[in-house]
Structure 1
Amino acid sequence: MAIPTTRTKTKAEIRIDAEKCSGCGLCVSVCKDFGLRVENNKARVTDHSLFGCIGCGHCMAVCPTGAVTILGRTLSPDDLFELPEKAKAATYGQFHALMQRRRSIREFKDKPVEPDVIEKILETARTSPMGLPPSDVHVLVLGGKEKVRAFARDFCAYLETMKWLVSGWFLFLMRPFWGKANDELFRGFIKPLISIYTESMRKGVNLVNYDAPLAMYFYGSPYADPADPIVAATYAMMAGESLGLGTCMLGGVHPFIQSGKKAKEFRKKQGIRHASREGVFVIFGYPGVSYHKGIKRTFASVDRK
Structure 2
Amino acid sequence: MPVPTTRDKNPASILIEADKCSGCGLCVNVCKDFGLEIVNNKVHQSDKALFGCIACGHCMMVCPTDVIAIEGRTLSPVLMFELPEKSQAADYESLLAMFKRRRSIREFKNKAVEKEKIEKILEAAQTAPMGIPPSDVHVLVLENKKQVRLFAEDFSNYLKGLRWMSSRWFLALIRPFLKKENNEMMHDFVKPLFDVYVDDMDKGNNWINYDAPLAMYFYGSPYADPADPIIAATYAMLAGESLGLGTCMLGAVHPFIQNGKKASAFRERWGIKYPSREGLVVIFGYPAVHYQKGVKRTFAHIHRVS
Q: When the two structures are superposed, what TM-score results if normalisation uses the length of structure 2?
A: 0.98
What is aligned with 2:66? 66
Aligned AA for 2:208?
A: V
- What stretches of structure 1 move > 4 A for 4+ residues in a row? none
Q: Distance in 2 between matches of 1:87 and 1:222?
A: 40
Unaligned stretches of 5+ in structure 2? none
2:161 maps to 161
The answer for the alignment partner of 2:301 in structure 1 is 301
Q: Give the whole-Å Cα distance in 2 for the aligned partners of 1:302 and 1:193.
A: 31
- Residue of structure 1 equivalent to 2:2: 2
Secondary structure (helix, strand or coil) at the match of 2:189 reads helix
Q: Aligned partners of 1:7 and 1:140: how far apart in 2?
A: 17
Match of residue 239 from structure 1: 239
How far 1:170 moved relative to its partner?
A: 2.0
| 1:150-199 C-alpha deviation (Å, 9 max, x unpaired) | 00000000000001112222222222333111111000000100110111
Cα deviation code 1:105-140 (max 9, x no counterpart): 001111100001000000000000000100000000
Verify: 1:15 aligned to 2:15, yes or no. yes
CA distance in 2, matches of 1:175, 1:71: 53
Distance 1:136 1:97 in 2: 31
| C-alpha distance in structure 1 between counterparts of 2:59 and 2:175, whole Å | 51
Describe the SS at the equivalent of 2:179: helix
SS at match of 2:178: helix
Cα distance, 1:15 vs. partner? 1.2
Amino acid at match of 1:298: T
Query: In the aligned structure 2, how far is the partner of 1:39 from the partner of 1:83?
Result: 30
* Number of corresponding residues: 305
| Counterpart amino acid of residue 252 in structure 1 | A
**What pairs with 1:182-261 in structure 2 (closer than 5 Å)?**
182-261=182-261
In 1, the alpha carbon distance for the partners of 2:177 and 2:227 equals 26
**Partner Cα distance (1:84, 1:200) in 2:** 48
| Aligned position for 1:99 | 99
Tell me the SS of whatever aligns to 1:19. Answer: helix
Residue 278 of structure 1 corresponds to which residue in structure 2?
278
Q: Give the deviation of 1:48 after TM superposition.
A: 1.2
The residue that corresponds to 2:76 in the other structure is 76
d(CA) in 2 for partners of 1:304, 1:164 = 45
CA-atom RMSD, angstroms? Answer: 0.7
- The amino acid across from 1:19 in the alignment is D
SS of equivalent to 2:159 = helix
Please give the alpha-carbon distance, in whole angstroms, between the structure 2 residues aligned to 1:13 and 1:47.
14
Percentage of pairs with the same residue:
65
TM-superposition CA deviations, 1:46-83 (whole Å, max 9, x none): 11111000011011111111111101111110110000
Q: Which residue of 2 aligns with 1:131?
A: 131
Matched, 1:87 2:92: no
Q: Distance in 2 between matches of 1:104 and 1:275?
A: 27
Q: How does 1:35-54 map to 2 (within 5 A)?
A: 35-54=35-54
Residue identity matched to 2:65: T
How many Å separate the matches in 1 of 2:267 and 2:119? 24
Deviation at 1:252, TM superposition (A): 1.1
Mapped to 2, the partners of 1:175 and 1:28 lie a distance apart of 55
